[in-house]
Structure 1
Amino acid sequence: MQVTETLNDGLKRGYAITVTAAELDAKVNEKLVEAQPEIEMKGFRKGKVPMPLLKKQFGQRLLGEAMQETIDGAMNQHFEDSGDRPAMQPEVKMTNEDWKEGDDVNVEMSYEALPEIPDVDLSTVKLEKLVVKAGDAEIDEALGNLAENAQNFEPRKKGTKAKDGDQVVMDFVGKVDGEAFEGGSAEDYPLVLGSNSFIPGFEEQLVGVKAGEEKAVTVSFPEDYQAAHLAGKEAVFDCTVKEVKAPKAAEIDDELAKKFGAEDLAALKTQIGERLEAEYTGAARAVMKRKLLDELDALVSFDLPPSLVEAEAGQIAHQLWHEENPDVQGHDHPEITPSDEHNKLAERRVRLGLLLAHLGQKAEVQVSDAEMTQAIMNQARQYPGQERQFFEFVQNNPQMQQQLRAPLFEDKVVDYVFELAEVTNKDVSKDELQKEVEALEDE
Structure 2
Amino acid sequence: MQVSVETTSPIERRITIQVPAADIDEAVSARLKDTAKNVRLNGFRQGRVPMDVVRQRYGASVRNEVVGEVMRERYVRAITDEGLNPAGFPKIEPKINEAGKDFEFVAVMEVYPQVELSSIEGTEVERPVVSVTDADVDEMIETLRKQNAEWKEDDKAAEDGDQVTIDFQGFLGDEPFEGGSAEGHALVIGSNSFIPGFEEQLIGAKAGEEKTLTVTFPEDYQAEHLAGKEATFKVKVHKVSTQALPEVDQNFFERFGIEDGDEAKFRAEIKKNMTREASQAVDNRVKQQVLDALKKANEITVPSALVQQETDGMKRQAAQQFGLGEDFDVSQLPNELFEEQARGRVQVGLLLAEVIKSHELDADDAAIKAKVEELAEQYQDPSEVVDYYMGNDELKTQVKSAILEEKAVDKLLEQATVKDVEMTYQQALAAAQQQAEQGEGEESEA
Measured against the shorter chain, the TM-score band is 0.5 to 0.7
Pairing 1:355–2:351 present: yes
Evaluate the alpha carbon distance shift between residue 38 and residue 285 of structure 1 in structure 2; reply closer, same or farther with a 3 A threshold.
farther
Number of the residue aligned with 1:436: 431
Evaluate the alpha carbon distance shift between residue 247 and residue 103 of structure 1 in structure 2; reply closer, same or farther with a 3 A threshold.
closer
Of 129, 133, 136 in structure 1, the residue corresponding to residue 134 of structure 2 is 136
Q: Secondary structure at the match of 1:95?
A: strand
Number of the residue aligned with 1:411: 402
Q: Matched residues, percent identical?
A: 21
Q: Is the 8 A contact 1:130 1:426 kept in 2?
A: yes
- Cα deviation for residue 161 of structure 1 reads 5.9
Number of the residue aligned with 1:252: 248
> Root-mean-square deviation (CA), in Å?
6.1
- Cα deviation for residue 67 of structure 1 reads 0.7
1:188-215: CA deviation from partner (whole Å, max 9, x where unpaired): xx99988999xxx999789477xxxxx8
Evaluate the alpha carbon distance shift between residue 28 and residue 250 of structure 1 in structure 2; reply closer, same or farther with a 3 A threshold.
same
Number of the residue aligned with 1:18: 18
- Cα deviation for residue 139 of structure 1 reads 0.8
Name whichever of 71-80 and 23-32 sits farther off: 23-32
1:25-53: CA deviation from partner (whole Å, max 9, x where unpaired): 122244457x579847697788x988777
Pairing 1:61–2:64 present: no
1:218-256: CA deviation from partner (whole Å, max 9, x where unpaired): 469xxxxxxxxxxxxx998999xxxx9976644433243
Larger radius of gyration: 1
What is the CA–CA distance in structure 2 between the aligned matches of 1:129 and 1:355, rounded to whole Å?
22
Number of the residue aligned with 1:70: 70
Q: Secondary structure at the match of 1:15?
A: strand
1:39-93: CA deviation from partner (whole Å, max 9, x where unpaired): 47697788x9887776566544321111112122221122111111233432322
Aligned residue identity for 2:347: R
1:369-422: CA deviation from partner (whole Å, max 9, x where unpaired): x99xx9xxxxxxxxxxxxxxxxxxxxxxxxxxx9x9998786343124256566
- Cα deviation for residue 270 of structure 1 reads 2.4
Aligned residue identity for 2:95: T
Number of the residue aligned with 1:383: none
Evaluate the alpha carbon distance shift between residue 128 and residue 101 of structure 1 in structure 2; reply closer, same or farther with a 3 A threshold.
same
What is the CA–CA distance in structure 1 between the aligned matches of 2:141 and 2:286, rounded to whole Å?
29
1:287-310: CA deviation from partner (whole Å, max 9, x where unpaired): 1221331353366x4752575699
What is the CA–CA distance in structure 1 between the aligned matches of 2:37 and 2:157, rounded to whole Å?
88
What is the CA–CA distance in structure 2 between the aligned matches of 1:167 and 1:130, rounded to whole Å?
36
Number of the residue aligned with 1:108: 106
What is the CA–CA distance in structure 1 between the aligned matches of 2:29 and 2:124, rounded to whole Å?
63
- Cα deviation for residue 95 of structure 1 reads 3.0
Number of the residue aligned with 2:388: none
What is the TM-score normalised by the length of structure 2? 0.54
Matches within 5 A, 1:105-184: 105-118=103-116, 130=128, 132-150=130-148, 162-164=157-159
Aligned residue identity for 1:92: I
- Cα deviation for residue 429 of structure 1 reads 3.2
Aligned residue identity for 2:86: P
What is the CA–CA distance in structure 2 between the aligned matches of 1:275 and 1:429, rounded to whole Å?
18
Number of the residue aligned with 1:27: 27
Q: Is the 8 A contact 2:13 2:110 kept in 1?
A: yes
1:249-301: CA deviation from partner (whole Å, max 9, x where unpaired): 444332432344432322321231122123212212211221331353366x4
- Cα deviation for residue 132 of structure 1 reads 3.2
Q: Is the 8 A contact 1:89 1:111 kept in 2?
A: yes
What is the CA–CA distance in structure 2 between the aligned matches of 1:105 and 1:50, rounded to whole Å?
27
Task: Give ranges in structure 2 of 5+ residues lacking alignment.
Answer: 165-182, 213-233, 316-329, 373-393, 440-446
Evaluate the alpha carbon distance shift between residue 123 and residue 217 of structure 1 in structure 2; reply closer, same or farther with a 3 A threshold.
closer
